[in-house]
Amino acid sequence: MSRLSSENVLVAEEIIARYPRPKSAVIPLLHLAQEQDGYVTDEAMSHIAELVDVTPAEVIGTCTFYEMFKREEVGKYMINICTNISCQLLGGEELLHHAEKTLGIGHGETTDDGMFTIEDVECIAACTEAPCLQVNYRYRYFVTPADFDELVDDLRVGRVTDVSPHGTLTRSRQHIPAAKQAGIVPPEEAREQPVWLPAPEEGKA
């Protein structure tokens, strides 16, 4: 469907320029593609391959290793319910079943209106607030079935302010002003030690 937009190519170039080797930017750029389209398209992966100078197969190889990258359309809101040990002990599985029943879908599935996808996820590091879930990677803690129903209603009518559509992780990006950048140090360049280190002692190399 879509390559990265010209605006996103500029963002991509800024990201690539921070790494000694361009391929390091693959995961951030896959996130950028997912932010643009809601999921990662084949065209976007080919475009990323061009931008970082690897083959499309290498980008696909990386993409398919990581759980967060979706290669098909998913709901506007991805609801990830944790069922790992700390949440299991306090009702995570019951919450997942309630969510499936309420939305009429199984985990890994999307509602017909394209609003919600449910996932049965591994630990999301909120173990002391069990059971917990994330909506597009924003947390909700101590979630009861009633809380879940309220959340779904709020999302439907747009009453939730801290959650962006699926694909958008953060509201701000790192930006390094050119004048302040220390500069990348590629491994290929034979390098002296950094200037702030004292001269090596004799015989210590």
Cβ pair 107, 115 in contact under 8 A: no
When the beta carbons of 157 and 195 are compared against another protein, the nearer one is 195
Check residue 6 for interaction with another protein (CB under 8 A).
no
One residue of 9, 105, 115, 124 binding another protein per CB under 8 A: 124
One residue of 4, 12, 26, 155 binding another protein per CB under 8 A: 26
Cβ pair 31, 166 in contact under 8 A: no
Check residue 195 for interaction with another protein (CB under 8 A).
yes
Choose among 131, 136, 168, 169: nearest CA to 147. Answer: 131
Residues 79-108 that bind another protein (CB under 8 A): 80, 83-86, 88-90
Q: How many residues bind another protein (CB under 8 A)?
A: 76
Residue range at the interface with another protein (CB under 8 A); choices 2-10, 17-25, 94-102, 108-116: 17-25
Question: Least distance from C-beta 112 to another protein, angstroms?
Answer: 26
When the beta carbons of 112 and 147 are compared against another protein, the nearer one is 147
One residue of 129, 147, 154, 160 binding another protein per CB under 8 A: 129
When the beta carbons of 113 and 179 are compared against another protein, the nearer one is 179
Question: Cα 106 to chain center, whole Å?
Answer: 22
Cβ partners under 8 Å of residue 48, min gap 6: 4, 12, 26, 29, 30, 33, 59
Q: Which amino acid would we find at residue 82?
A: C
Check residue 111 for interaction with another protein (CB under 8 A).
no
When the beta carbons of 161 and 174 are compared against another protein, the nearer one is 174
DSSP H or E segment with residue 153: helix 145-156
Cβ pair 9, 51 in contact under 8 A: yes
Check residue 139 for interaction with another protein (CB under 8 A).
yes
Cβ pair 28, 9 in contact under 8 A: no
